[in-house]
Amino acid sequence: MTETTTYQRHERLMTRMADAQKIDLDIAILRGELSPEEYSDAVLACTGCSVPEACERHMEEGRFGVPRFCRNGDMLARLAKVSSS
């Protein structure tokens, strides 16, 4: 996979995971809850994941919550807490 394709795949995975948690990343950025730099860093962290297929299965099976192995679990939990307030 090329670097661009890898980045795009993980950006989609992260967006899907956020959507599953009822988090709109674009809105979080607009509200200042997530900086563009944090967003980019989160996607890059995701590209370092050694089990993206497990993440895809997690979402396809409709499992609730973020998998323990998710490199962005803390960020997503923080944003979920803010968006539910």
- For the residues of 36-77, what is the DSSP string, one character each? HHHHHHHHHHHHT-S-HHHHHHHHHTT--S--TT-TTHHHHH
Domain that holds residue 57: 3-83
pLDDT digits (tens, 9 = 90+) for 39-84: 999 999 999 999 999 999 999 998 888 999 999 999 999 999 987 7
The total number of structural domains that make up the chain: 1
Stated pTM of the model:
0.86
